[in-house]
Structure 1
Amino acid sequence: MTHRTASCDCGQLSITVEGEPRGVGVCHCLSCQRRTGSIFATLAGFRGAWSMSGRATEYVRTGDQGAKFRFRFCPVCGSNVFHTEEGFEDRSVSISVGSFADPTFPPPSDSVYDSRRHPWVGLPETVQVWDKDPD
């Protein structure tokens, strides 16, 4: 089985997952823009077990539909590496695609909160676009 490891910029915090991502998407919500310091977040979701190495600082945010998301970032370099949804930590994890530092990583298939996408950002025609979060 394929193992993938993502890490922060300084290498202190890392996460390892097995298998291929269940999905890759971009999120244009204002919270992700602030959280990443970019104009969108690019995330890969994985099912099943994951293991973390190093120390993480955590921040919990409540989403639009009431779910609580626990974001983990490096207390040394500040990189935002991954997050889980409370109640689903053992079944699913979402990892910042940039943390894999792999230009061959699969491209996104979905774009959520597209209503907040900066107008000069283009997406591949194959990406399914959602005005808000479809969940």
Structure 2
Amino acid sequence: MRRRATCSCGALSVVAQDEPEKVSACHCLECQRRTGSAFGIALFFANEAVETFGSTTSFSRLGASGRPIEFHFCASCGSTVFWKPAFRPGMTAVAFGCFEVKDGLKPTQSVYEEHRHPWVGIETT
């Protein structure tokens, strides 16, 4: 399966080959801040299965794991499209909402549940 994800303006895109190794719904406070929503959803692919197109700006911060995460976002519109988490070496995380086709995708795990808002229900497989 080949999946394409793009930023809001289309200047940055990611093409991921194969199925994701993990689909994670994250309720940590930083994901809430990054997305402007109640949680974030990331699809994790092996680095070699991901190809990026367009220019990015990056921002690195410590994640809730205490390890760095390098976020890559569109230099034009600012959409966060993918990131490289040190806690998953060799993996690239791609934002669920950026994928053009989301059929068949759903979280396989839900993490940092202690920050999950009580009105959010996530069904994992």
Same fold (TM over 0.5): yes
Larger RCO of the pair (alpha carbons < 8 Å, separation 6+): 2
> 1:26-70, CA deviations, whole angstroms, 9 ceiling, x for partnerless residues?
000000011111110011001141221111110101123331110
Q: Residues 115 and 68 of structure 1: is their aligned pair in 2 closer, same or farther, counting only changes over 3 Å? A: same
2:53 aligns to what?
53
CA RMSD of aligned residues (A): 1.8
2:72 aligns to what?
72
1:114 aligns to what?
113
1:132 aligns to what?
none
Could you list the structure 1 runs, at least 4 aligned residues long, displaced by more than 6 angstroms after superposition: none
> 1:74-95, CA deviations, whole angstroms, 9 ceiling, x for partnerless residues?
1211211010124966x21000
2:96 aligns to what?
97
Structure 2, unaligned runs of 5 or more = none
Q: Residues 121 and 47 of structure 1: is their aligned pair in 2 closer, same or farther, counting only changes over 3 Å? A: same
1:133 aligns to what?
none
Q: Distance in 2 between matches of 1:86 and 1:114?
A: 21
Q: How many residues align?
A: 124
Q: Residues 38 and 5 of structure 1: is their aligned pair in 2 closer, same or farther, counting only changes over 3 Å? A: same
TM-score, normalised with respect to structure 2: 0.89
Q: Residues 71 and 12 of structure 1: is their aligned pair in 2 closer, same or farther, counting only changes over 3 Å? A: same
| Equivalent AA in structure 2 for residue 10 of structure 1 | C
2:5 aligns to what?
6
Identity of paired residues, percent?
A: 39
Q: Secondary structure at the match of 2:23?
A: strand
TM-score, normalised with respect to structure 1: 0.83
1:62 aligns to what?
62
